[in-house]
């Protein structure tokens, strides 16, 4: 993950976490006694945002997208999404050790190289080098 993506995630989380708290303070001071219940709701939203960010970060570490899991956690339930993320296996990248495309053309090319080696056009070292290049090694 690039530092720019990480920076955007941090800004996003800070906004979702501190935004409701700042609004809660304003509502509390401007709303008087009725503002207390609205302030508590906003504080609860901030706490849910913080927990959703933790769940989304755990999902990101397993190869999933941060924003998708953040919003799912925030809108559905951080606890439910936390359990889901905990059970998800990490995504693995496909291995490049075995080429799947072009195997028949590679084997045909190796056969051509072998016939050139057998006829004396290629040396053993040239054949081995070309074969390694074709097989990706």
Quick one: DSSP state of residue 121?
A: S
Residues 72/88, Cβ–Cβ less than 8 Å: no
Which is more confident, 121 or 35? Answer: 121
In the predicted model, what is the mean pLDDT of residues 51-62?
A: 86
pLDDT, mean over the chain: 77
Q: How far is CA 75 from CA 49, 68, 72, in A?
A: 10, 11, 5
Quick one: DSSP state of residue 99?
A: -
Structural domain boundaries in the chain:
3-87, 103-134
pLDDT band at 94 (very low <50, low <70, confident <90, very high): low
pLDDT for residue 93: 64
pLDDT for residue 101: 52
Token digits for 120?
């004396």
In the predicted model, what is the mean pLDDT of residues 122-130?
A: 86
Length of the chain: 137
pLDDT for residue 119: 86
Residues 90/63, Cβ–Cβ less than 8 Å: yes
Say whether pTM exceeds 0.75: no
Q: How far is CA 125 from CA 60, 106, 109, 113, in A?
A: 47, 18, 16, 12
pLDDT for residue 102: 53
Q: How does pLDDT run across 3-19, given as a tens digit for each residue?
A: 777 777 777 777 776 77
Nearest Cα residue to 56 out of 2, 3, 48: 48
pLDDT for residue 19: 72
In the predicted model, what is the mean pLDDT of residues 85-92?
A: 83
């Amino acid at each position: 993950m690039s530092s720019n993506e990480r920076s955007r995630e941090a800004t996003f989380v800070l906004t979702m976490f501190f935004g409701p708290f700042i609004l809660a303070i304003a509502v509390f001071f401007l709303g008087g006694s009725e503002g207390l219940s609205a302030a508590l709701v906003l504080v609860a939203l901030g706490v849910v945002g913080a927990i959703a960010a933790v769940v989304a970060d755990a999902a990101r570490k397993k190869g999933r997208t941060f924003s998708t899991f953040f919003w799912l956690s925030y809108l559905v339930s951080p606890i439910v999404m936390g359990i889901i993320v905990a059970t998800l296996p990490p995504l693995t990248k496909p291995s490049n050790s075995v080429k799947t495309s072009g195997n028949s053309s590679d084997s045909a090319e190796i056969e051509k190289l072998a016939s050139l080696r057998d006829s004396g056009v290629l040396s053993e070292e040239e054949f081995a080098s070309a074969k390694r290049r074709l097989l990706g090694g």
